[in-house]
A and B are shown apart, each in its own frame.
Chain A
């Protein structure tokens, strides 16, 4: 056990930190986005397609597009560099963004489907009983689809743990700075350290299995 952590101690801590921040983002922005996608708003179809596309688009290509956008010469990165004097690429926030983008469709889609399926009538009833959109979200939607929310969060965080493609592009795989657990496996293999690669793989697999069992447990309760 101690041996395993000794392999890439920094990567463990970094991945946990990323997962923690991403979890908070999923809880707020993820649920919010899922709810918004069920409301009759303009450009809903476009937004919906973009979220779904992330599922099929190759992660490494998504990472490349994001790198182009956020690098110092990109449209958003250039602006940030000019206004804040800060470059996001190859930093901790870049890892968070990568993990967030990778897990987003897995969080949004099940929640959105649950709201559209079982909660649509409930939302309308809530409106007839005098409640606005925000009150309806908090009092009705979230409690009614909490099973799907847990499922989405587990899937999303699990996916963000295993994320490599976007992280590689946006984070840069700098050992000791932006090396996440999944990248650590890759780096160990490159170094020919198959023992460490095996240890970390086994542990990461264990985490995934744990998340899967958690999901099943909540799936049954739902």
Chain B
């Protein structure tokens, strides 16, 4: 088992990080979270660029850090591939020399560089300098340089943030293929939800220096577990709950029945899935006024202000009648579109 085992604590100027995490080889783990949550710091701790206050970091059978045994392996001996957010390509070296930088001997240098040029579609650029490359090309050179020495672990810090939106989709696909073929633990730090969805099979959510949720990507996105994680994962429609009675939750926005499993408890928010609610002109349901109508290709996004002005996003699929702006409607919300959520415990 060549996975990465991490259990570290780190403090710096009022910020505290406390994370325990196992990363298996051969998959991509994405760490999501708002800026300042400590995701990049965690990567730097793993690479040995920062030193934890205490804890253990182990890779395969090798100990990278162990505070109780006073072991702190320097970065250069950890064999980590680290891709920086701004790529940090050596400006004075050609593409080929950048890729060859971490290779130990001169013997098979050329062959290995050529292999990586080919894998990341960089042929023809080997004699160019980083200053003359496009963002996407720089990014691929940075990945090639990180992977060429065959590291034991790959760490990527916001790998797509400096690439144009249109290019990201292709690059994510390419990255996913290349990285998966390595069979090593890979951690991608990102605040872009799509990065995680496209390239990670596991996703973790970090908030204020703590890992609050970790699991298979789909499962994490579908069941965030608490309000704050749901917010990080881009859930909209989190209605605040003021009270609960007779199997219903209520607030300034109105009153909704709770799913059977959640009865008897007092959730902090009700999450309403945007696909599912229907807009009707009369009858029961939450009263609301249509304040925005946006076409999204074959679907339509409607924003409805409820009684206390709380906005509710509703996605209408093909064939549904599209309401007019300013129209007062009733929102009918099926029970299976409602997820009661509690506030997470903050440190």
Contacts and interface: CB of A to CB of B under 8 A. Distances in A.
Tell me if chain B binds chain A. Answer: yes
A188 to B, nearest CB: 47
25 contacts: A121-B88, A122-B90, A124-B49, A124-B75, A124-B82, A124-B88, A125-B145, A127-B76, A128-B75, A128-B76, A128-B80, A128-B81, A128-B102, A129-B102, A129-B149, A130-B77, A130-B102, A130-B149, A131-B101, A140-B90, A143-B90, A143-B92, A143-B93, A144-B92, A146-B92
A38 interface: no
What are the 5 A-B residue pairs with the smallest beta carbon separation, nearest first?
Answer: A129-B102, A121-B88, A127-B75, A143-B92, A128-B82
Interface in A114-143: 121-122, 124-132, 139-140, 143
Contacts of B75: 124, 127-128
For chain B, the bracket of interface size reads 20 to 34
Interface of A: 121-122, 124-132, 139-140, 143-144, 146
Q: Output the residue of A122, A128, A144 with the most chain B CB within 10 A.
A: A128
Given A128-B47, A128-B76, A128-B80, A122 B88 contact: yes
Nearest to B151: A128
Q: Output the residue of A121, A124, A125, A144 with the most chain B CB within 10 A.
A: A125
A38 to B, nearest CB: 14
B104 A144 contact: no
Contacts of A127: 48-49, 74-76
B339 to A, nearest CB: 41
Q: Output the residue of B48, B76, B102, B145 with the most chain A CB within 10 A.
A: B76
B76 to A, nearest CB: 5
B263 interface: no
B79 A130 contact: yes
B76 A130 contact: yes
A131 B76 CA distance: 6
B84 A124 contact: yes
A144 B91 CA distance: 7
Contact of A144 (B48, B77, B78, B90): B90
A129 B145 contact: yes
A80 to B, nearest CB: 39
A143 B129 CA distance: 14
A132 B102 CA distance: 12
B300 interface: no
Contacts of B84: 121, 124-125
A142 to B, nearest CB: 9
B86 interface: yes
Given A121-B88, A143-B92, A130 B104 contact: yes
Contacts of B88: 121-122, 124-125
Contacts of A128: 47, 49, 75-76, 78, 80-82, 102, 146
Nearest to B148: A129
Given A127-B49, A129-B149, A143-B92, A121 B86 contact: yes
Interface in B83-132: 84, 86, 88, 90-93, 101-102, 104
A109 B84 CA distance: 26
A132 B82 contact: no
Contacts of A146: 92
Contacts of A121: 84, 86, 88
A125 B86 CA distance: 11
Nearest to B97: A139
A122 B104 CA distance: 18
A125 B157 CA distance: 12
A204 B146 CA distance: 51
